[in-house]
């Protein structure tokens, strides 16, 4: 048997000092009944505990977090030279790990989770999950550039990329949509067309959009948003 507040704290649902408020607000149910007593004992092996309707199993709930990653930090657990994205995570999320990566100077949407199966699905190349970037760069993309991206451009080292979408937004600005994640890929694709990128921001992944999440801040995905990530698959209408 275990106290409800301790069970939830160990599940990482909120910081320890806020757990009691979460329970007292009526957001927690045990076996379908609202419980507002933090000290109530539960059997973690058999009782069904939910928070806002989401099941918490075995003292661990699945968390998928979105960060608006700033430039100047690396996607790593630790680094000897630069700050890492982990330094921007609130304390209750410190055990989450990033899904994929954004390079040092790239801003934007970065996901974190404690669900290894979901992370594996999202980074597997065979799933070709679409990622959308906003870029500011030297020069202006032409129709020829658009067609070369559509047909799969070749990087300066001879690497062939999958077909991608390049959408010019006027002088020195473009949207780029890719379905793979080669090293510094978007920057290298643009450089192959003599458009050096000065600013890069990932604004979408699958059906998720970064939206107005402030720079350096995080938010948990809703159950519906996580469901969209789980359901994402190769989009044959990528150019449609």
Active site residues per annotation? 103
- Chain centroid to CA 148: how far? 29
Residue given tokens 């390079």 in the structure block: 103
Contact 91, 85 (CB under 8 A): no
Which residues are CB-neighbours of 224 under 8 A, at least 6 positions away? Answer: none
DSSP the chain: -EEHHHHHHHHTSS-HHHHHHHHHTT-EEETTEE---TT-EE-TTT--EEETTEEEBTTB---EEEEEEPTT-BSSS--SSS-BGGGGS-GGGTT-EEES---TT-EEEEEEES-HHHHHHHH-GGG---EEEEEEESS---HHHHHHHHH--B-TTSPBPPP-EEEE-STTEEEEEES---TTHHHHHHHTTT--EEEEEEEEETTEE-TTPPTT-EEEPPHHHHHHHHH----TTTT-
Contact 122, 99 (CB under 8 A): yes
């Amino acid at each position: 048997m275990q106290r409800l507040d301790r069970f939830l704290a160990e599940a990482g649902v909120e910081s320890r000092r806020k757990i009691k408020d979460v329970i007292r607000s009526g957001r927690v149910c045990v076996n379908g009944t609202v419980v507002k007593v933090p000290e109530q004992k539960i059997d973690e092996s058999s009782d069904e505990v939910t928070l806002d309707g989401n099941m918490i199993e075995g003292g661990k709930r699945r968390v998928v977090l979105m960060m608006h990653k700033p430039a100047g930090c690396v996607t790593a657990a630790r680094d000897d030279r630069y700050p890492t994205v982990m330094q921007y995570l609130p304390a209750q999320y410190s055990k989450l790990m990033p899904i994929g990566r954004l390079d040092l100077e790239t801003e934007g949407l970065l996901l974190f989770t404690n669900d290894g199966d979901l992370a594996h699905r999202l980074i597997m190349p065979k799933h070709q999950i679409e990622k959308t970037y906003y870029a500011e760069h030297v020069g202006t993309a032409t129709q020829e550039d658009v067609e070369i991206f559509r047909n799969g451009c070749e990087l300066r080292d001879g690497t062939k990329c999958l077909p991608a979408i390049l959408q010019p937004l006027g002088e020195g600005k473009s949207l780029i949509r890719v379905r793979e994640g080669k090293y510094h890929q978007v920057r290298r694709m643009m450089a192959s067309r003599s458009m050096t990128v000065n600013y890069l921001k990932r604004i979408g992944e699958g059906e998720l959009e970064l939206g107005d999440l402030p720079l350096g801040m995080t938010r948990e995905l809703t159950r519906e948003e996580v469901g969209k990530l789980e359901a994402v698959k190769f989009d044959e209408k990528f150019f449609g």
